[in-house]
């Protein structure tokens, strides 16, 4: 069942096409990755889904209906650039956002208290937002997104600002929401999270979809053409391999992009007993490699490459 469907959606800012004929659909209960480099137009698409912007052409259907302000209560949106009222207490903040999403004050307070306990944030309940650390604020922000128990969630970089322990906690909650049948759009630059969580993705660049499909199928379509070797000792067997083919190289490991399986045989035959092999594996390309290749390395700046490689 399709929860969300975009039909040839376009949005202009002056002459600039921020969204260029974008179509995709999200199935109920799926985690859907909305990917793309900075400035690709992800936020513009999200703002159209959340009814902040209206498309110039095309249509957006949510639960089978053209999206309008009445759907806003059914959505939970965690924007990438997030913010809270600095002077408000945690509980007041959560109640206000809960009420804005259609909860009664009583219900909002009840749920807020439950979530604060669940996320180990109960001690901050009467603290002002400005007294909290960045990580704590992110937790409060996340609670405010899911407080009204929306069927459909949009999470834009939900893990940023979390330490590994809390990131794991958040991941568990996202998977729990998925198991409850909630539908989630996940937008992130961290490809490892996409591989872990997403069922399907679209990759956007310059307002256009340049790649879409199920994560598994996309990876399969790029072929088992990556050779990963972990070793100890001499690396002489790597001599003669075109350096442009080496994707990753560290002290004791190497990842090589191959044209075919015969190349793997040729490399294997060059290994002698001066090298100890832990692992010799023909693997699918990682999503981040697909991302970089597809978007085109020239399109990215260094900061983004660093982010993707996290």
Partner 1 sequence: MKTFNLTNKVKIVLKHEYLSKVKTKSFLIGTFVAPLGIVALFGVLIAATFIFKDTTERKLAIVDQTEYLGQVLVDSDTSRYYLTDKSEEVLTKLTEDSKIDGYILIQEDILDSGNVPIYTQGGGGIGFTSLLEKNLSRIVRKERLKRSGTSDDVINLVDSGINLNTKKVTEEGIKDDKTEVLAYVGYALGFVIYMLMFLYGTHIFRSVLEEKSNRIIEIIVSSAKPFDILLGKVLGIGLVGLTQVFAWIAIVVILLTFAGQIAGAFIDIDPTTLQAGMTMQDAQTKQVEMMMSGIPEISPWLGIGFVFYFLAGYFIYSCLFAAVASAVDNEQDAQQLMVPITIPIIIPIALIPMIMANPDSVPAIVASLIPFFSPILMIVRIASTQVPIWQILASVVLLVSTFLGIIWLTAKIYRIGILMTGKKPTIKDFYKWIKMS
User: Footprint of partner 1 on this chain (CB under 8 A)?
Assistant: 47, 50-52, 69-70, 72-75, 77, 79, 81-88, 92, 96-97, 99-102, 144, 151
Nearest distance from C-beta of residue 52 to partner 1, angstroms:
5
Taking alpha carbons only, the member of 28, 111, 36 closest to residue 300 is: 36
| C-alpha gyration radius of the chain | 23
Nearest distance from C-beta of residue 293 to partner 1, angstroms:
31
Q: Which two tokens stand for residue 310?
A: 């996290």
In the bound state with partner 1, the residue whose beta carbon lies nearer, of 46 and 215, is: 46
Give the DSSP H/E element, type plus range, for residue 118: helix 105-118
Beta bridge partners of 31: 184
Taking alpha carbons only, the member of 272, 281, 277 closest to residue 239 is: 272
Strand order in 57-62's β-sheet? 16-27, 2-13, 57-62, 65-66
Length of the chain: 310
Nearest distance from C-beta of residue 14 to partner 1, angstroms:
9
In the bound state with partner 1, the residue whose beta carbon lies nearer, of 97 and 231, is: 97
Nearest distance from C-beta of residue 44 to partner 1, angstroms:
10
Q: What is the DSSP letter of 217?
A: H
In the bound state with partner 1, the residue whose beta carbon lies nearer, of 54 and 276, is: 54
Using DSSP, state whether 212 is helix, strand or coil: strand
Q: Tell me how far the alpha carbon of residue 112 is from its chain's centroid.
A: 26
In the bound state with partner 1, the residue whose beta carbon lies nearer, of 24 and 142, is: 142
In the bound state with partner 1, the residue whose beta carbon lies nearer, of 8 and 73, is: 73
Residue in the block written with tokens 């598994």:
216
Nearest distance from C-beta of residue 149 to partner 1, angstroms:
10
Q: Which two tokens stand for residue 291?
A: 């991302």
In the bound state with partner 1, the residue whose beta carbon lies nearer, of 101 and 219, is: 101
Nearest distance from C-beta of residue 300 to partner 1, angstroms:
21
């Amino acid at each position: 069942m399709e929860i969300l469907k975009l039909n040839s959606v376009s949005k202009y800012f002056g002459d600039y096409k921020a969204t260029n004929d974008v179509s995709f659909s999200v199935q109920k209960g799926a985690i859907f990755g909305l990917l793309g480099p900075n400035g690709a137009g992800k936020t513009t698409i999200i703002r159209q889904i959340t009814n902040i912007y209206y498309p110039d052409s095309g249509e957006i259907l949510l639960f089978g209906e053209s999206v309008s302000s009445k759907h806003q209560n059914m959505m939970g949106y965690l924007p990438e650039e997030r913010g809270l009222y600095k002077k408000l207490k945690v509980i007041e903040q959560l109640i206000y956002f809960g009420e804005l999403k259609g909860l009664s004050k009583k219900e909002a307070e009840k749920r807020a208290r439950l979530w604060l306990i669940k996320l180990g944030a109960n001690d901050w309940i009467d603290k002002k937002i400005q007294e909290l650390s960045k990580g704590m604020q992110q937790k409060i922000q996340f609670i405010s997104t899911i407080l009204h128990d929306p069927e459909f969630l949009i999470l834009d970089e939900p893990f940023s600002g979390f330490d590994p322990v809390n990131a794991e906690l958040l991941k568990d909650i996202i998977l729990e929401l998925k198991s409850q049948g909630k539908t989630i759009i996940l937008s992130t630059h961290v490809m490892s999270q996409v591989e872990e969580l997403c069922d399907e993705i679209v990759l956007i660049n310059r307002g256009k979809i340049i790649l879409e499909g199920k994560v598994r199928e996309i990876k399969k379509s790029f072929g088992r053409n990556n050779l990963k070797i972990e070793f100890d000792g001499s690396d002489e067997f790597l001599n003669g391999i075109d350096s442009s083919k080496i994707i990753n190289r560290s002290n004791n490991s190497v990842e090589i992009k191959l044209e075919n399986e015969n190349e793997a045989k040729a490399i294997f035959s060059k290994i002698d007993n001066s090298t100890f092999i832990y692992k010799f594996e023909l693997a699918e390309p990682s999503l981040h490699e697909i991302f970089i290749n597809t978007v085109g390395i020239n399109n990215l700046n260094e900061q983004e490459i660093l982010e993707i490689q996290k």
